[in-house]
Structures are given as structure tokens and as C-alpha cells.
Amino acid sequence: MLTNQEVAEELVKKFENNVFDFEEPYGLLTLSIDREQVIPALEYLKNHDKFQINFLTDIAGVHYPDSPGREFCVVYHAHSFVNNFRIRLKVFVPENDIHVPTASFLYESANWMERETYDFFGIIFDGHPKLQRILNMDEMDYFPLRKEYPLEDGTRNDKIDALFGR
């Protein structure tokens, strides 16, 4: 049976200081990795004789506007059907350089997931074969899941606390 400890030790041995911030929330091995090493790491996990982490479950973006130099994060979830093992890799990038290499040549499923992440967060996947909007209109000139907009319209007066007994 594959353990988080075993995979983490192998990753540290292979990628040294490029992998860090290891955690195990709810038993899921989670780590951060440098942008330049994320594709080699995914490829290593996929082609490893024992790990066989051969299914990319999800790619998602996260916006942390209050984290200077780490404003955007790309999160990869991968799974080994052979070992029933899951892993989460995080890549943090600064707002002024939101580029991450594409995984679409490694996992075909990455194609649409990267397009969706680009569509909602504006994260650019270098080398992607067709990086364009996939769910939103092409005419949109903003990325709707960035935390750049107020949660409520301050000009509305139908949400006055007195109207709700507060």
C-alpha cells in the first residue's frame, strides 16, 4: 500500500528544495512546488513504476490578493487508480507573472481544465494548444473569479439592517 510518507520522501529526494509546505489535510498528501518543476513532478508521478499516478482529476485556480508575491495559485489533483492514492500539488505565482507551463501534453484532460482556469482567473498556461475562453463570452475583458470586486453593491438600500430586524 502506498503511503503519503513514502511519496513525500521520494519527491523530496528527486526535487529537493523545489517541493515544500507538505501537509495532509484529511489524509490527502498536499505540497507546494516551484512552477518550473510542476510538469516534471507530474510526469515523474505518472511514470513512476510504483506510484502510477496516472489520472489528473482536476486543475483549479485560487486568488489570494492579500499574499504579496503569491497572489495566484494553480492546484492540481491527481489520482492513482492502481494504488487508490491521491495527491494535491500547488503552484503559487505572482500577480505580475501569472504563467504556468501546460500539462495538456501529459494529460489530455488538462486541456479543458486549463482553459477553464484561464477563463475565470486569467492564469496563462504556456504551451497550451488553444488557450481561450471556454465558458464565458469571448468579449469579457475581466476574469470573474478574481477577488477584485466587492461582494455587495454598496449603493443598494434594500439590504438595510433595520429591514431585517437587526
* Residue 164 falls inside a structural domain: no
Helical pair 38-47 and 4-15, crossing angle rounded to 10 deg: 130
* Residue 113 falls inside a structural domain: yes
pLDDT tops 90 at residue 131:
yes
Strand ordering across the sheet containing 19-23: 19-23, 29-33, 85-93, 72-80, 55-63
Tens-digit pLDDT profile for residues 3-61: 999 999 999 999 999 999 999 999 999 999 999 999 999 999 999 999 999 999 999 99
Q: How many domains does the chain have?
A: 1
* Residue 166 falls inside a structural domain: no
CATH of residue 64: 3.30.460.80
* Residue 18 falls inside a structural domain: yes
Give the pLDDT band (50/70/90) at residue 148. Answer: confident
pLDDT on residue 129: 96
The reported pTM is: 0.90
What is the rounded average pLDDT for all residues in the chain? 94
Q: Which of 59, 43, 53 is nearest to 91 (CA)?
A: 59
* Residue 47 falls inside a structural domain: yes
pLDDT on residue 166: 64
Q: Which residues contact 84 (CB under 8 A, 6 or more apart)?
A: none
* Residue 157 falls inside a structural domain: no
* Residue 152 falls inside a structural domain: no
Spatial distance between the Cα atoms of 16 and 105, rounded to a whole number of angstroms: 25
pLDDT on residue 150: 73
Contact 122, 63 (CB under 8 A): no
Spatial distance between the Cα atoms of 107 and 46, rounded to a whole number of angstroms: 10
* Residue 163 falls inside a structural domain: no
Lowest mean pLDDT among 20-24, 126-130, 159-163: 159-163
Range of the domain at 136: 4-147
